[in-house]
Structures are given as structure tokens and as C-alpha cells.
Amino acid sequence: MSLYNRLFPRGKGGRLWVLLDPDSLPRRRLIQVATAAQQDGAVAILVGGSFLCKDDFGSVVRALKRAVNLPVVLFPGNSGQLSRYADGILFTSLLSGRNPQYLIGEQVMAAPIIRRMGLEAIPTAYLLIESGRTTSTEFVSDTRPIPRDKPQLVAAHAQAAELFGMKAVYLEAGSGAEQPVPPDVVRAVRKSVSISLIVGGGIASPEAAVTATEAGADVVVVGTAVERGGREIIHRIASAIKGGRK
Ligand code: 1GP
């Protein structure tokens, strides 16, 4: 089965992916969190970050892959975050921005390497939504997020992604965002496109995850809350959103 079909099984919404930033925790803790995530109901592990300082990305991915049976998927902040040990990659383009480096430049650098590694790439529109303060993604990418009170503008970006043939949209408030993506933005995108919908950034409670899911997210991504809160939060969020929209 393709990675895409494993990540987005038909008719099954309400799925939790856990994002691990290799810089945020010692490797031993990353493995513990990934193992706990698997036991507690997460269905995939994303690995990456907009700003990484350590130089052991590949070996972290390999260690995670050895530790869990879940798909381990690259979510790279740039073309340096690649590893053949992953199951595949969210091949993102920062469509909300107007910086050519993150629209196409990093992707051109990465494409031959991804091909050589044999990684399945899932073409994904990455849309940064304003969330209350400057996030690392905003600063590092030197792009402006889309205003959070403009759902139709966000939806237009998602429609452009679908017309390009992309398979998923990732609505991103930014890691540790003060405010997650507003539900009316998620709803507007859900109504406008039929491609898979991923929502992340600032989701730190079962309630916030349910709000995103009810608004139409197929997948909720949680990183910071898992790093801070440990396994209990994984179990609570995964249970709360299981089964998707009510
Ligand atoms: C960040 O969407 C992810 O790229 C997850 O965000 O760390 O705020 O959960 P958090």
C-alpha cells in the first residue's frame, strides 16, 4: 500500500500525527515519545523543523524507524533534512508565502536526492496562518502568514494547490502558536477542496483537536504539547478525535 493511502485511509478522519523536532529533546527521549505515541493512538510520526542546529538528522530518523512500526514521515524545513530511512516525505511548498526559496528553490535542491533515496513524496501545500505572534516558520522563511480572519483567502490558496495537483493541504499556525488555526478557516478550506487536510500548530488539548476535526481536518498534528506533556496528552487527544467528524 502506498504511504499516501496509509496516511489518509478513505473515510477515516480524526487521526493524530505526532511531530518530533530532533533538536527539542535528547534522542533517548525522542524514542520514548515515539514509542508512547504508537501505543497511545497516534498513527504517524513526522520529523523535521524550521530551524535545526544538530547535525544528526539522518541517524535520528533511522533510530525512530527502528523503534516504531508507525510511518515515519519527513517534514523538512529545508533541503538538508532528508533521510533514506524514512517511509516518505511531505513534499511541501510554502504556498502562503511569496519567497521563491520556499516555494520552489529548496524543492529543486531536494528533488534529485529524494528520487535517489526512493522516498515516496506527498505533494503538500503548506499554508502558514497568522497565530498571534511571530513563529519560527515565519521568521526563517521570511514570509508573511495569511491573516487569520480571511478564510476565503486561505481557501483560494488551497484551491490553487488542488489545481496544481497537490494531494494535501497543511494549515499551519506555527510550532507553539498562541492560537491554533481558527475553525472557520479549516471549514472554508474543507468546503473548497477535496484533497486531504492536515491542521497543526498550537493544538495543546483534546478540545482544540476536536474543534479542528469537527471543522474538517483529516489529521491533527501535535508537537509542542507532546514534548511538554508526555504520553497522557497523546492518549487524550487520540481518543477525543477518533472516528473523525461527528
Ligand atoms: C508545527 O504544526 C506543527 O509545524 C505542530 O505544532 O508544535 O504547536 O504542536 P505544535
Q: How many domains does the chain have?
A: 1
* Contact of 222 with 243, CB cutoff 8 Å: no
Q: Pocket residues for ligand 1 (CB within 6 Å)?
A: 19, 172, 175-177, 200-203, 221-225
* CATH number of the domain encompassing residue 145: 3.20.20.390
Atom of ligand 1 at shortest range from CA of 176: 8
Question: What's the CA gap between 218 and 128, in Å, rounded?
Answer: 18
- Structural domain span for residue 72: 12-243
Report the separation in Å between the CA atom of 19 and the middle of ligand 1, taken as the mean of its atom positions.
7
Q: Is residue 97 a part of any domain in this protein?
A: yes
- Which pLDDT score, from 0 to 100, does residue 229 have? 79
Domain-located, residue 172: yes
Q: What is the pLDDT of residue 167?
A: 98
Which residue, chain included where needed, has cell 515565519? 138
The answer to whether residue 2 sits within a structural domain is no
For ligand 1, pick from 81, 127, 222 the residue to mutate: most ligand atoms within 8 Å of CB. Answer: 222
CA 30 to CA 19: how far, in whole Å? 10
Mutation test residue for ligand 1: of 139, 175, 220, the one with most atoms within 8 Å of CB: 175
Model pTM? 0.98
- Does the residue 86 lie in any domain? yes
First-to-last C-alpha distance (Å) of the chain: 28
The 10 Å Cβ neighbour count of residue 232 is 11
pLDDT tier, 99 (very low <50, low <70, confident <90, very high otherwise): very high
* Residue 6 placed within a domain: no
Ligand 1 atom closest to the CA of 202, numbered from 1:
8
Q: What pLDDT score does 245 carry?
A: 77
pLDDT attached to residue 5: 97
Asked if residue 20 has pLDDT above 90, the reply is yes
* Residue pLDDT, tens place only, 153-190: 999 999 999 999 999 999 999 999 999 999 999 999 99
Q: Which residues contact 235 (CB under 8 A, 6 or more apart)?
A: 40, 41
How are beta strands 219-222 and 196-200 bridged, if at all?
parallel
- pLDDT cut 70: percent of the chain above it: 99
Q: DSSP label at 32?
A: H
Q: Is residue 7 part of a domain?
A: no
Nearest CA to ligand 1 atom 4: 175
